[in-house]
């Protein structure tokens, strides 16, 4: 073990191991299989890099690191080379001559580490090369890519199981930051890691402050947030990532931030490849840059001092949210994960799921994941406790999320829930089909819109019964009813809300409902509502 520590100090310049790094390194260096679940920024790379050095020193050849991320490979190889480690990578960015050089160095065991993309590793040409070489170990990074239900599925990862069959004596270490039990089991199954020791570190990121707020003017809210919390005295901003769902919105947001005087750059898969790479490099190597990006950006970004991650749109799942926000604060300094969302986001995601070409089971799983995320948004409990419990961990209220810092008031919303549910029921009974949240809100608020008049909904008994509440409040109530499973979004699309089995008990008055007060409004003792600002 003291040998590992010497390497850590001498090669990597760190004084001590973090968390379970030392245990993992010892286990892997000794030639055993392992599955490592560690949060982003936890220090997974050292878990295979140090064993690779040890095993190379022992004459066992170079270690192979499988990674789907070209940018990450390049950064890691550059950093390792600088530290005096003999490392190289093989991916589609190399010329044939460069490939030949790297392969030759590998076969001759001159390399200590070789990073490789999975599709290249599994070619018969490369597998043949492997049979002629000594191999230190296989490290399979981003191992959750093997999970078919996950958000980063890569079919080439499925084939990695063949490595074990062909090279049964070479130890393997699979690593991921996605730690929910289902994904974990799937990784073990698909990579045949049944005998592997599983190392689970808490995925909690105490330095990240989570905040999720209702969206009303997303851009203005974002600018307020950056100006209030991430602008330095000289006027420059902290380094941050702003996630948007669409390429167009990425471009528009970046342009708009530039017009507001910020140094913002776009990044998405539809951009000219050279410009995209340039923006990524500026972000990686310079400071005070805000990058606006689709989720195409980020996997493998190793910028330790990202101070905030902002979401202008809802991610697809809690896994996605956790991974994206996890890019903040890898240096363990205080950082913000800030998100604005509205029911429109949920509808948009639902539409995307519906219109995708995936099979029904997959669509159902994605829908359930989206609903879990809505539940997180609408919760009145500590965000961190909710996040951790989603990944199978327990925790105490954290004191570092919006809910803990400024607990939302709750109220007995049984009457409001009944009004909303009965409005859903009556509008459907009157017209023969269902309606979405905005039309239902119009009915409840007594707005005589064209649609309300066309359907005769101004004659419903629920017309105008909620007029004492502002429309935003009703929107918040509808979101919470969905999050509570009292309403569901119709699978046919169009955002139609339908009653569920559970709604009946509320309508019959058999169940009381506690709702979260919409932050902008407060109810007085007489039951009237007032704007707070
Ligand atoms: P992960 O892959 O788990 O997201 P990395 O391996 O990229 O994390 O490590 C995250 C950061 O922490 C890197 O900047 C790395 O150099 C640093 N780091 C890792 N282990 C240690 C350690 N024992 N001491 C100090 N810094 C460390
Ligand atoms: Zn909390």
In whole angstroms, what is the distance from residue 204 CA to residue 400 CA?
12
Question: Which of 20, 43, 68 gets mutated to test ligand 1 (max ligand atoms within 8 A of its CB)?
Answer: 43
471 pLDDT above the threshold of 60: yes
- What pLDDT score was predicted for residue 532? 44
* 169 Cβ contact partners less than 8 Å away, ≥ 6 residues apart: none
Provide the pLDDT for residue 491: 67
> Is 293 strand, coil or helix?
strand
Using CA positions, which residue lies closest to atom 27 of ligand 1? 43
pLDDT in tens, 73-119: 888 999 999 999 999 999 888 899 999 999 999 999 999 999 999 98
Q: What pLDDT does 292 receive?
A: 96
> Is the predicted pLDDT of residue 260 greater than 60, yes or no?
yes
Q: How many alpha carbons fall within 13 Å on the CB side of residue 455?
A: 22
> Residue range 488-505: average pLDDT?
83
Over the stretch 311-350, which tens digit does the pLDDT of each residue have?
999 999 998 999 899 999 988 899 999 999 988 888 888 8
Angle at 435 between CA 431 and CA 439, to 5 degrees: 105
Write the secondary structure of 70-139 as one string of H (helix), E (strand) and C (coil).
Answer: HHHHHHHHHHHHHCCCCEEEECCCCCHHHHHHHHHHHHCCCCCEEEECHHHHCCHHHHHHHHCCCEEEEE
Q: Cα Rg for the chain, rounded, in angstroms? A: 26
Does residue 531 carry a pLDDT above 60?
A: no
Cβ pair 115, 67 in contact under 8 A: yes
Say how far apart CA 497 and CA 455 lie, in whole Å: 17
Q: Are 149 and 182 in contact (CB under 8 A)?
A: yes
Mean pLDDT, rounded, for 7-20: 93
Ligand 1: does its nearest atom lie under 6 Å from the Cβ of 300? no
CA distance 264 to 254: 5
Taking the C-alpha atoms of residue 531 and residue 521, their distance in angstroms, rounded to an integer, is: 5
Which of 417, 435, 526, 424 shows the shortest CA–CA distance to 473? 417
pLDDT tens-place string over residues 384-415: 998 988 877 888 999 999 999 999 888 999 99
- pLDDT tens-place string over residues 186-239: 999 999 999 999 999 888 999 999 999 989 899 999 999 999 999 999 989 999
Which H or E element spans position 36?
strand 34-37
State the pLDDT confidence band at 533, using cuts at 50, 70 and 90: very low
pLDDT digits (tens, 9 = 90+) for 516-528: 887 555 555 555 5
Per-residue pLDDT at 151 exceeds 80: no
Q: Which of 127, 130, 122 is nearest to 159 (CA)?
A: 122
| C-alpha closest to that of 144 among 112, 99, 191 | 191
Is the C-beta atom of 14 inside 6 A of ligand 1? Answer: yes
Compute the distance from residue 222 Cα to the ligand 1 centre, in Å.
Answer: 30
- Determine the atom of ligand 1 nearest the C-alpha atom of 15: 24
Cα-to-centroid distance, 302 and ligand 1 (Å): 9
User: What is the C-alpha separation between 245 and 455, in angstroms, rounded?
Assistant: 34
Distance 304 CA to ligand 1 centre (A): 9
Specify the ligand 1 atom closest to the Cα of 39: 3
The predicted structure's pLDDT at residue 395:
87
8 sits in which H/E element: none
Please choose from 22, 41, 47 the residue to mutate so as to test ligand 1's pocket, defined by most ligand atoms within 8 A of CB.
Answer: 41
* DSSP class per residue in 385-400: HHHHHHTT------SS
Q: Tell me the mean pLDDT in the region 298-307.
A: 79
CA distance 486 to 480: 9
Q: Across the chain, what does the average pLDDT equal?
A: 90
Residue bearing the CA closest to ligand 1, atom 20: 43
45 CB under 6 A from ligand 1? yes
DSSP 408: P
Give the residue whose CA is nearest to atom 26 of ligand 1: 14
Question: Is the entire prediction scored with pTM above 0.75?
Answer: no
Compute the distance between CA of residue 18 and CA of residue 20 in angstroms, rounded to an integer: 6
Mean pLDDT score, 135-152: 86
User: Cβ contacts of residue 450 below 8 Å, gap of 6+?
Assistant: none
């Amino acid at each position: 073990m003291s040998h590992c520590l010497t390497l850590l100090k001498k090669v990597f310049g760190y004084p001590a191991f973090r968390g379970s790094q030392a245990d993992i390194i010892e286990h892997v260096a000794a030639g055993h299989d392992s599955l490592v679940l560690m949060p982003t920024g936890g220090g997974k790379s050292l878990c295979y890099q140090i064993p690779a050095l040890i095993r190379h020193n022992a004459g066992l050849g170079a270690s192979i690191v499988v990674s789907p991320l070209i940018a990450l490979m390049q950064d890691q190889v550059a950093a390792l080379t600088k530290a005096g480690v003999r490392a190289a990578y093989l991916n589609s960015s190399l010329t044939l001559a460069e490939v030949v050089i790297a392969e030759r160095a590998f076969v001759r065991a001159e390399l200590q580490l070789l990073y490789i993309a999975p599709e290249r590793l599994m070619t018969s040409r490369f597998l043949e090369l492997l049979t002629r070489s000594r191999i230190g170990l296989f490290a399979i990074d981003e191992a959750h890519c093997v999970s078919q239900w996950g958000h980063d599925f890569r079919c080439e990862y499925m084939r990695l199981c063949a490595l074990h069959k062909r090279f049964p004596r070479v130890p393997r270490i699979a690593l991921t930051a996605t730690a929910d039990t289902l994904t974990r089991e799937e990784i073990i199954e698909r990579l045949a890691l049944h005998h592997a020791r599983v190392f689970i570190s808490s995925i909690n990121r105490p330095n990240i402050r989570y905040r999720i707020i209702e969206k009303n003017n997303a851009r203005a809210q974002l600018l307020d947030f950056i100006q209030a919390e991430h602008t330095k005295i000289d006027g420059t901003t902290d380094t941050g990532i702003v996630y948007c769902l669409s390429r167009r919105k990425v471009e528009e947001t970046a342009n708009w931030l530039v017009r507001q005087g910020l140094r913002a750059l776009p990044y998405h898969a539809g951009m000219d490849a050279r410009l995209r790479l340039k923006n990524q490099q500026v972000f990686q190597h310079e400071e005070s840059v805000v990058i606006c990006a689709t989720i195409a950006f980020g996997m493998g970004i190793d910028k330790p001092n990202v101070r905030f991650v902002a979401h202008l749109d809802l991610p697809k799942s809690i896994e996605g949210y956790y991974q994206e926000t996890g890019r903040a604060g890898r240096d363990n300094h205080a950082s913000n994960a800030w998100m604005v969302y509205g029911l429109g986001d949920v509808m948009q995601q639902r539409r995307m799921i519906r219109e995708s070409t995936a099979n029904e089971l997959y669509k159902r799983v994605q829908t359930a994941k989206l609903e879990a995320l809505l539940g997180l948004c609408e919760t009145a409990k500590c965000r961190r406790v909710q996040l951790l419990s989603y990944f199978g961990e327990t925790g105490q209220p954290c004191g570092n999320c919006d809910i803990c810092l400024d607990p939302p008031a709750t109220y007995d919303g049984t009457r409001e829930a009944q009004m909303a549910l009965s409005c859903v029921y009556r509008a459907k009974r009157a017209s023969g089909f269902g309606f979405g949240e905005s039309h239902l809100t119009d009915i409840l608020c007594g707005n005589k819109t064209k649609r309300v008049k066309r359907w005769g909904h101004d004659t419903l008994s629920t017309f105008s019964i909620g007029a004492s509440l502002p429309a935003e409040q009703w929107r918040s109530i509808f979101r919470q009813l969905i999050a509570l499973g009292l309403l569901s979004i119709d699978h046919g699309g169009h955002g139609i809300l339908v009653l569920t089995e559970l709604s009946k008990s509320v309508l019959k008055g058999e169940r009381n409902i506690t709702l979260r007060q919409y932050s902008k409004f407060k109810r007085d003792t007489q039951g009237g509502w007032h704007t707070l600002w």
